[in-house]
Amino acid sequence: MTEENKTDRDWSETLYLPKTEFPMRAGLPQKEPEIVARWQEMDLYRLLREDAKDRPLYVLHDGPPYANGNIHIG
């Protein structure tokens, strides 16, 4: 983009983002470390891998959204 094409427009005005009076009550920044600690305490990854050991291998090849993007699902 050249300097001539740049604009000072606030592009957030072009998005429809719903407004709500409801507060964010999940407390994710505090709750997530507790959840991860519980998973680690349970050794959840090992349990999941153990449960899946007799299943056939399933591979999902999903490319990046752009040529230089990261692989992602969703």
What is the residue-wise DSSP string for the chain?
--TTT-----GGGGS----------S-HHHHHHHHHHHHHHHTHHHHHHHHTTTSPP-------SSTTSPP---
Task: Please tell me the predicted confidence (pLDDT) of residue 48.
Answer: 96
Task: Please tell me the predicted confidence (pLDDT) of residue 55.
Answer: 95
Task: Please tell me the predicted confidence (pLDDT) of residue 12.
Answer: 74
pLDDT tens-digit profile, the chain (74 residues): 555 566 777 877 788 878 888 877 788 889 999 999 999 999 999 999 999 999 999 988 776 666 666 666 66
